[in-house]
Amino acid sequence: MFAPTVASLLLLSASAAVKASPCVAFDINWNLLAFGLDGKDWFTGTQDTWSGSGQATDITTTSRPTFDGTNTTCYLSQFTNAIYVLNGDSKNPSSIYIYDATAKSWSTQAVTLGSFDTTSFDAILDHDTNVFYALSHGNLFSLDMGSLKAANSTPVVWTDVEQAPYPSNYQPVMALAQNHVHFLDVPGVPAGSADIFVIHYSYFQPQSQAYPLPDGSTFPATYGRATSFFQDSGVQQEFAFIPQDSSAVYVINVETNTTQKLAGPTIKDPKTTYFASTNSLVQLSSNGTVSFLSYQEGNTSANAAASWSIVKPLLTSAPPSTSSASASGTKTASGISSSGTSSGSTSGALTASPIYAGLVLTALLGAMVYVL
């Protein structure tokens, strides 16, 4: 009878662990929420509590997604106080999962995909219309969420709006500000500039827009992540762009057409993702570490002096894995990124705890002894 080797048992143990794709988001009171972190969901409060010795609150409940998708992204619908989750479940990649942050409940919204490819896209959620805009394989798609804070029985539909003026292999970097979708790292567009899609008129501006730094320098023309800073009310006016090498944070203000350069993340991780509130830029690294940078709109001196810190309640309640992050790396192989008002993880890191993995290995070793 076949006797499994220790190596094969270790491989089986590893494969038994669940592939993770957690994400972070905020509710409308700017409480930080972490979904799928260490296999659970967490409420972490507002920024003033993140440096203390407290713990995050476990808010894991029924009907939630498994957070094991190819790429999971989270978006705040500010008018409804709901979090929309795309690609939250590997078995139901087309569904949109809705977390009602007021009722603290989950529901699953059916979706009609049409020609939309859930494995290759970037998307933003427009503040005023509550409509997703996504770029996939060179085409711009939209999906109207209406006023949904819980799923209904009528599927929502991904609609092919038009062909974008970009090559089909363009890996989109998208951000939202003033009801305009900004596209960064577009082929042929110079460093420090972005292409713009005007949502309310549904057209691409023919000319790119420059956003120089005060000294005349520019943010680089390179792949990275982008996420928008919310306002307590009204549309977003600024977004952060973080190049994949994590060398700096660039905050673009579309009212003044200027850019601030802030400290790059302490954790240099090409697979990291981001989400912003009104006063915080939060980073979720591929090993599950959650960090933040304080931000004050208009206060350039305070922003220039700000440094990155760990969100301590999550460090205590959902310790990161021991896998290391690196500053090196290329664009994600899957061609998926998360941006706009979203965050997610493309890491594919294992979320199973060491205890769980140990139990699996113990059981397998027991089976081997029985066979022998």
Q: In 3D, which of 232, 226, 311, 340 has the Cα closest to residue 279?
A: 232
* Any domain includes 304: yes
Residues 181, 345: Cα–Cα separation, whole Å: 22
Residues 44, 46: Cα–Cα separation, whole Å: 7
Q: For position 20, what pLDDT does the model report? A: 79
* Any domain includes 332: yes
Q: For position 71, what pLDDT does the model report? A: 85
Residue 239 contacts by C-beta under 8 Å, 6 or more apart in sequence?
Answer: 175, 176, 177, 182, 226, 227, 228, 229, 251, 252, 254, 276
Reduced to 3 states, what is the DSSP secondary structure of residue 338?
coil
User: Are 277 and 27 spatial neighbours (Cβ–Cβ below 8 Å)?
Assistant: no
Q: For position 321, what pLDDT does the model report? A: 84
Q: For position 210, what pLDDT does the model report? A: 98
> Kindly report the CA angle at 173 between 172 and 177, in degrees rounded to 5?
125
* Any domain includes 368: no
* Any domain includes 299: yes
* Adjacent-strand bridge partners of 204: 197
Residues 166, 163: Cα–Cα separation, whole Å: 8
32's torsion region: left (phi>0), alpha (psi -120 to 50) or beta?
beta
Number of H helices, E strands in the chain: 4, 28
Question: How do residues 91-109 score in pLDDT, each as one tens digit?
Answer: 999 999 999 999 999 999 9
Q: For position 330, what pLDDT does the model report? A: 40
The parts of the chain modelled with pLDDT lower than 70 are: 1-19, 322-372
* Any domain includes 245: yes
Q: For position 345, what pLDDT does the model report? A: 41
* Any domain includes 1: no
Q: For position 126, what pLDDT does the model report? A: 98
Q: For position 344, what pLDDT does the model report? A: 52
DSSP 288: S
* Any domain includes 370: no
User: Are 251 and 259 spatial neighbours (Cβ–Cβ below 8 Å)?
Assistant: yes
Range of the domain at 184: 18-351
Q: How many domains does the chain have?
A: 1
CATH number, domain containing residue 344: 2.120.10.80
Q: Where are the alpha helices (DSSP H) in the chain?
A: 6-16, 300-305, 312-317, 354-371
Tokens of 314: 């999550």
* Any domain includes 357: no
